[in-house]
Amino acid sequence: MSYVVRFTRTERVLHWVNAAFFLHLTATGLILYVPRLSELVGRRPLLKNLHFWGGIGWVCALALVFLLGDTRRLVRVARELEVLRDDRFDVGQKLNAIVQAAFVVLFLVSGVLLWLGERDTSFRFSSTVLLHDGLLYVALVLFVGHLYLAVVHPATRHALRGMALGTVEEEWARRRHPEWEAPPARGGNALPKDAVRT
């Protein structure tokens, strides 16, 4: 069976670092948010610290991967995502990535505002907590859909291999992403042709 390269190491590290922090923040955030869980776990100061510093760690970790990893590659990925047509990613994957990236900014801004507002109430706005909660709902729906497509849905679940190991079956790539000119695995971390040309 022949394989083609879908994700480089930097891309995979970025994805899994993001995923780890997303899960940490979702878990601690839900405990802080759902009354039943809040009552069950208690320890609010500890949970708040874990959640707040998890959020700060999230953006710092993403920035570190961007700076210490293959920066040029990630810049190209961003350009790839800008064009909403099927190639290495389909349009749904691109929309998901774009919206979740925007949510990182919004989660950070609303979270820092909540933190500030508790310490200086001139920063306390009644809509901040609603924005933070609303983002959670949408992000959770997107995340569940993403999990379903990556782990369960037969037509797309092979993509999980790409995010885990970097390579996907060539036959699957041709069938699922016919517009993507995938580099063969032998070429190591070669770029998809679309992104290579400069």
Partner 1 sequence: MKAIDEPRIVPTSVSRADGRIAGTISGDVDEPAPKRYGRGLFLATVAGGLSSLVWGKTVWSGLSSAVPSVPLVPSGWRIYTVAATMPRFDRRTWRLEVGGLVGEPMTLDYDALRALPRTEEERDFHCVTGWSVSNVHWGGVRLSDLLERVQPGLGAHAVRFTSAEIPYVDDLTLDQAKLSDVLLAYEMDGKPLPREHGAPVRLVMPRMYGYKSVKWVARVDLVARPHPGFWELRGYDPDAWLP
Q: Which residues bind partner 1 (CB under 8 A)?
A: 33-36, 38-39, 41-45, 76, 79-86, 94-95, 98-99, 101-103, 105-106, 109-110, 113-114, 117-121, 124-131, 134-135, 179, 194-195, 197-198
Can you say whether the dihedral through the CA atoms of 3, 163, 62, 144 is positive or negative? positive
The rounded distance, in Å, linking the Cα atoms of 175 and 109 is 41
> Could you give the CA distance from residue 101 to residue 78 in angstroms, rounded to a whole number?
10
Minimum CB distance to partner 1 smaller for 65 or for 104: 104
User: Which is closer to partner 1, CB of 86 or CB of 169?
Assistant: 86
d(Cα 86, Cα 14) in Å, to the nearest integer?
A: 22
Minimal distance in Å, beta carbon 43 to partner 1? 6
Nearer to partner 1, 2 or 127 (CB): 127
- What is the closest distance, in whole angstroms, from the C-beta atom of residue 124 to partner 1 in the complex? 6
CB of 100 to partner 1, least distance (A): 10
Cβ 145 to partner 1 shortest distance, Å: 17
- Smallest gap, in angstroms, from Cβ of residue 96 to partner 1? 11
Please report how the helices 71-82 and 91-119 are oriented relative to each other, as an axis angle in degrees rounded to 10.
Answer: 110
Cβ(99)–Cβ(142) below 8 Å = yes
Strand duo 167-169 + 3-5: pairing = antiparallel
Task: Pull the structure tokens for residue 161.
Answer: 């291999």
We find the least distance from the C-beta atom of residue 136 to partner 1, in angstroms, to be 10
Residue pair 110/52 in contact (Cβ under 8 Å)? The answer is no
- DSSP letter at 174? H
| Cα–Cα distance measured from residue 159 to residue 151, given in angstroms and rounded to the nearest whole number | 9
